[in-house]
Amino acid sequence: MRRVSTDMPNMDVQYYLRRQEEGLSNIESKIAAQSRIRELRDDPLAASHAVRYESYLARLERFEKNTLYAQGRYNETYNYLNEANAVLQRIREISVQGANGIYGLDDMKNMAVEVNELIKELAALANATGQDGKRIFSGDKAFTESFRLIEGTVAGGGENMVIRAEYRGAGASRKAEISEGTYSELDLGGGEAFWAENMQVFSTVDAGDYRVDRAGSFFLDGVEINVSPGDTINAIVAKINDSPAPVKAYIDPETRGLALEGTSAHLIRAEDRQDGEGGPSRVLQDLGIIRGNTETNAPNWSNSARVYGGSVFDMTIRLRDALFRGDHDFVGSQGIGGMDLALGNIHARIAEVGSRQERTEMAWSRLNQEIPDVTESLARESALDFTTAVTELKMMDFAHRASLQTAARILPPTLLDFLR
């Protein structure tokens, strides 16, 4: 026979009232979180699906932000390249005028002075800073001036003339992930955008008997090329040609040294790896291509190497000097030819940036179609039906109030309750 104590009704009422309060708290928490899954035990299968959807949705939103940042970067680059193209077009017009024999020396000097000012404007565009405070054409050296102008005296032109432009930037390696495992290059280095000729680098070091003494690697235009002990110059040439670097290699038949040639108009970047397991590598240095990696600015070619292939600034400076000399023949041949090379490369770079921009716009459009679909799938698994939830809340609140009123009538407090 069950024993009934005087406290038992009171304890039972408190127990069931607490259960009702817990139910009210759960439904209120779900309404506040706008999710029907407050704990994993609410719906384990739906909770596992929801976690996957939330993770995927977060990545999609990150990709969308990356595409928007990339589009802004490409817009800036595209605009500055177009302005540089306009400057180069004007310089070419001047070169065509200067090639005409009807102009005298004084007229050609006036043309040269204008070209000199346009060179400075071209340098200002090459050293442009983006909205994020980083140099657009400096590559990884985002806060370094892309090109440094050296001024001096030019025959026939006086002082304060640009005599040389040195590239101080680096290669561009920043990439933005625009979809799962897919990246788009963000930057365009000045060594690519403002170059005119395909570079050629000839080593004068006889490498006929050269052998790699230990495992190491070197970089050409940011592409790592590994070498093994015992590799000959022929093996190194084959590895360079098999790599994705925009450089082809061969052996100079005269010096039997390594020769490098760019497959497009750009500044070749060469570097021995310094942080390898076996210590710094010296392959390119031993082959007479570079001086070593102590240089803080590119290029770091060996003093004995023969280097050919100039930048846009080299072409315009040579043209200006010819105008100062009154050399119609040079202006009409090499002057115009150099400007055509510079314009051809910058047109190719404008097309390249435009292609990247088009790709990111398509990626952004795809993401904006996919994000709502994933959001809908997440809502299907975890979203709360507010109509049902509010109805349930009102019913539970009504039942709780009724329980409190009933308990107050059944268990009225007495004087003994206060004396205990």
Handedness of CA 175, 177, 182, 186 (dihedral sign): negative
Residue 101 has pLDDT above 80, yes or no: yes
- Predicted structure pTM score: 0.80
Per-residue pLDDT at 420 exceeds 60: no
Name which of 201, 193, 221 is nearest 312 in CA terms: 193
Query: pLDDT band for position 220 (50/70/90)?
Result: very high
In sequence order, the 6+-apart residues with CB closer than 8 A to the CB of 145 are 127, 135, 138, 168, 169
Whether the pLDDT of residue 29 is over 80: the answer is no
Instruction: Give the count of beta carbons closer than 10 Å to the beta carbon of residue 221.
Output: 21
pLDDT at 83 exceeding the cut of 50: yes
How far, in Å, CA of 282 to CA of 149, rounded? 31
Residue range 313-340: mean pLDDT, rounded: 94
Give the per-residue pLDDT at 40.
Answer: 55
pLDDT in tens, 144-181: 899 999 999 888 887 789 999 999 888 888 899 999 88
* Confidence band, pLDDT 50/70/90 cuts, at residue 126: very high
All residues at 6 or more sequence positions from 270 whose CB lies less than 8 Å from its CB, including other chains: 201, 218, 219, 220, 260, 284, 289, 290, 299, 300, 301
Q: What number is the average pLDDT over the span 312-338?
A: 94
CA 235, 241, 246, 252 torsion: positive or negative? positive
Mean pLDDT of 376-387: 67
pLDDT by residue (tens digit) across 86-100? 999 999 999 999 998
Average per-residue pLDDT for the chain: 86
pLDDT tens figures, 182-192: 999 999 999 99
Tell me the average pLDDT across 111-122: 95
Q: State the CB neighbour count (10 A cutoff) for residue 287.
A: 22
- The pLDDT > 70 percentage for the chain reads 80
Q: Exposure of 332 by Cβ count < 10 A (0-12 exposed, 13-18 middle, 19+ buried)?
A: middle
pLDDT at 41 over 80: no
Cα–Cα separations (whole angstroms), residue 80 to 117, 118, 123, 134, 402: 17, 14, 11, 14, 74
Per-residue b/e over 7-44, b at no fewer than 16 CB within 10 Å?
Answer: eeeeeebeeeeeebeeebeebeebbeeebbbbeeeebe
pLDDT at 417 over 80: no
> Which whole number is the average pLDDT over 334-351?
95
Q: What's the pLDDT tens digit per position in 52-78?
A: 878 889 999 999 999 999 999 999 999
Neighbour-count burial of 114, counting CB atoms closer than 10 A to its CB (0-12 exposed, 13-18 middle, 19+ buried): middle
Give CA–CA dist 119/160, Å, rounded.
12
Domains and CATH numbers, the chain: 53-171+190-195+310-370 (1.20.1330.10), 198-308 (3.30.70)
Give residue 401's identity as a one-letter amino acid code. R
Query: Where on the phi/psi map is residue 139: left (φ > 0), alpha (ψ -120 to 50), or beta?
Result: left
